[in-house]
Amino acid sequence: VQVEETYIMVKPDGVQRGLVGEIISRFEKKGFRLKGLKLFQCPKELAEEHYKDLKEKSFFPKLIDYITSGPVVCMAWEGVGVVASARKLIGATNPLQAEPGTIRGDLAVETGRNIVHGSDSPDNGQREIGEFLNY
């Protein structure tokens, strides 16, 4: 596994609930390196592009409303194996199924409000960092 980058985003409820510091802290303590960060109001078009693989799902309109409902915190993190490791630190998509000790397992209860996003591949990490950090 190589040094790579992943895109991590604290979603609007994570920002509103004051969990930005807690989430950053978990990646810092693990040993990853923060490469970029900004507070950002995600435009609807970018939200639809980001979640385009889910556009046929019944929950898609709610997902877009949610992610555009307030500012998000966009971050690039670097490290050996950071893409897969960040997904482990974040936990399962449904916070009720996420293991205790993970971010979602400890801090969330609803799939539709699961407080944080992490890229699912190095290629998507690069693409998402470009789309959000360089918007």
Measure CA of the first residue to CA of the last residue in the chain; give whole Å. Answer: 29
Using CB under 5 A, list all residues that contact Mg ion: 120
- The minimum distance between CB 84 and Mg ion, in angstroms, equals 13
3-state secondary structure at position 7: strand
Which residues in the 8-47 window bind ligand DAT by CB under 6 A? none
Residue 50 bears catalytic tag: no
Contact 11, 115 (CB under 8 A): yes
Which one is catalytic: 117, 118, 119, 132?
117
Residues 6+ apart with CB under 8 A from 33: 77, 78, 79
- The minimum distance between CB 133 and ligand DAT, in angstroms, equals 18
x/- track of binding to ligand DAT for residues 54-73 (CB under 6 A) = x----x---x----------
CA proximity to 75, closest of 11, 3, 1: 11
The site for ligand DAT (CB under 6 A) is made up of: 54, 59, 63, 93, 111-112, 114, 117, 120
